[in-house]
Each structure stands twice: as C-alpha cells, then as structure tokens.
Amino acid sequence: MPGGGGVSGLVGALAASLSEMVTSLTTGKKKYAEYEEEIQAIMQTSEDLRIRLLNSINEDAEAFMPLAKAYGMDMTSEGYQENLEKCLRVAASSPFNILKMCTEVIELDERLAIIGSKLAVSDAATSVMLAHGALYGAYINILVNTRLMKDKEYASKLDEEAISILKEYSERALRCFDSIKERLTNG
C-alpha cells in the first residue's frame, strides 16, 4: 500500500498543492487585484482538494482490503460471488472519487492559466499535467475492478462515465497546458 488508486490520489494532492501555491503567489498583487476575490476562492478550494486527495490515499487502501480478503476466500463457499461483487464496487468507488477530484483540480488550473501570476503560472502547468496523469491512474484502477464484476450493466455504466470524464478532462488538461505555454512564450 498504497496501490495505483492511492498513488493517483497522492499525485492529485500534489497537483492541488501547486494550484494552491499559484494562488498564494498571486494574491495581494496589484497587477491581479481585479481577481483577488476569485483567487481567494480558488485558494480555499485547492486547499480543500489537497486535503481530500491526501485522505483518498488511505480511503483507497481501506476500500481494497475487503477485496483482497475476498480473493483469499474459497470460491465455492456460499455467498462468495455476492461478497466479491460488493467488494469490487467498493474498490472501484475510491478511484472514481479520485478521478472526479482531479477534474476539479484541472478546472482550477484552467482559470489560473488566465488569472494566475505569470511568475507562478508554470506551476499551474505542472499541476494540470500531474492531474492529467492522476486521471489515467484513477481510470485504470476503476477498470481493473469493473472488468471482474458480474453485474455487467453496473460495470458498463461506471466504465462509460469514467471514460467520458477521462476523455473530456484529458483534453482540457492538455489545452490548459498549451495555453500556459503560449502565455509564457508569447505574452
């Protein structure tokens, strides 16, 4: 421990901490005074996300423990399949939550790309790419659980939602990175 889901949470927390740092280096600056209230709100949100993502490391490990125990059970024992299915759902829910939190970090970075201090905006670019990587780590840790579920309708719905989020926010993260690169090279 931690496994891939927890590591994705850690990487997401690092991304959120960089977003938070950009706000702390932007707040109080005359050049960005018109955005002060928004910068303060982003600072609070990024701090909250950092804490939640750090907590997700242990939550992911705790969500996996019952599944690890279920794998050790006799497959022919009564209730085995129902227990396994329940454990797979719990184990998939943690990386799904991490996936969603990383989308929030990306949204913050998109705004910081525009209103963040030019001296710190490279950290927003680093943040958005960390969140981008964490999206993929979280997604694959959803998939490793849903592929084993017997309830294919539930698994398919969760997979479809996760891939939709991954596709949208992966593209947004890359656009954000490119916009920051453009701001630094041409602005």
Could you tell me the pLDDT band of residue 75, with boundaries at 50, 70 and 90?
confident
* Amino acid residing at 187: G
**Cα–Cα distance between 96 and 54 in angstroms, integer?**
15
Neighbours of 44 (CB within 10 A): 12
Neighbours of 27 (CB within 10 A): 16
Q: What is the pLDDT of residue 71?
A: 85
Burial track 29-41 (b if 16+ CB lie within 10 A, e otherwise): eeebeebeeebee
Contact 131, 173 (CB under 8 A): yes
Residue percentage of the chain with pLDDT more than 70: 99
* CA 41 to each of CA 44, 66, 84, 164, 172: distance values in angstroms, whole numbers, following the listed order: 5, 38, 42, 28, 21
Q: What is the pLDDT of residue 35?
A: 97
**Total length of the chain:** 187
Q: Which residue has the tokens 């950009």?
A: 22
String of DSSP letters for 95-122: HHHHHHHHHHHHHHHHHHHHHS-TTTHH
* pLDDT above 80 for 187: no
Q: Which CATH number describes the domain made up of 4-186?
A: 1.20.120.680
Cα 61 to chain center, whole Å?
16
**Cα–Cα distance between 152 and 160 in angstroms, integer?**
12
Least confident of 76-85, 132-141, 153-162, 175-184: 76-85
String of DSSP letters for 8-73: HHHHHHHHHHHHHHHHHHHTT-GGGGGGHHHHHHHHHHHHHHHHHHHHHHHHHHHHHHHHHHHHTS
